Structure 1
Amino acid sequence: MKKADLARLRALCLALPEATERVSHGEPAWFVRKAPQFATLADRHHDDRVSFWAAAPPGAQQDWVQRDPGRFFVPPYVGGRGWIGVHLDVPQDWNDVADIVEDAYRTVAPKTLIARLDDGE
């Protein structure tokens, strides 16, 4: 994985109100405060691909995968809960990645933090 891609993903995640990062299952992962988790890196952890997995609102996983199955997939373990996987070893539209990260955060964050996000924080 390119260090620049990880830096870009990290910046998107940590720009959200009270988002934190720590290692989970040997990979960088992002949380709202100490929990819940909203995204995680999967650097060849489960296959030979570099990707990240993110929480998603109902229906979003199916929409992304149908839109571009070369970039998006149903990840193991958390895919049954609606999480979306994003391959980072293919060319990316980082606006899509930013949307997915924000949706992931909104999916798990408390209303008070979502209000702060909506207020432009």
Structure 2
Amino acid sequence: MSNTPTDRRYAKSHEWIKDEGDGSYTIGITAHAQELLGDLVFVDLPEVGSQVEAGGDCAVVESVKAASDVYSPVTGEVIAINEALDGAPETINEDAYGSGWMFKVKVTDSGSMGELLDADGYDAVIAEEE
């Protein structure tokens, strides 16, 4: 049985996005992604006010194993970042779908939302990789 939350959408590149219902969307990396990376030691987040493009790299997570780009699942403006990650990147390892969120955006082009997967679709992507 999957532990992939059903209240959000997923990119094939292992990011999640959750509609907060107020015009903002929270973005992070999936539990599967953080498991592959291992213990995270550094996170480089986009700046508030910066523009992110769907499919474009916008952040970096570094682990004891490797550094990996994080891609935005949507196009929009960064309206908040999770500043707590600056001193505690391991929060993503501990709670990827909760307190390990990375940044919030105000979507300016919703066209890319249709390309995102639901939880079952994302689980199928993971199964294909294994």
Whether these two folds match at TM > 0.5 is: no
Q: Give TM-score scaled by structure 2 length.
A: 0.28
Structure (1 or 2) with the greater strand fraction: 2
Structure (1 or 2) with the greater helix fraction: 1
Which protein, 1 or 2, shows the higher relative CO under an 8 Å CA cutoff with sep ≥ 6? 2
Q: Give TM-score scaled by structure 1 length.
A: 0.29
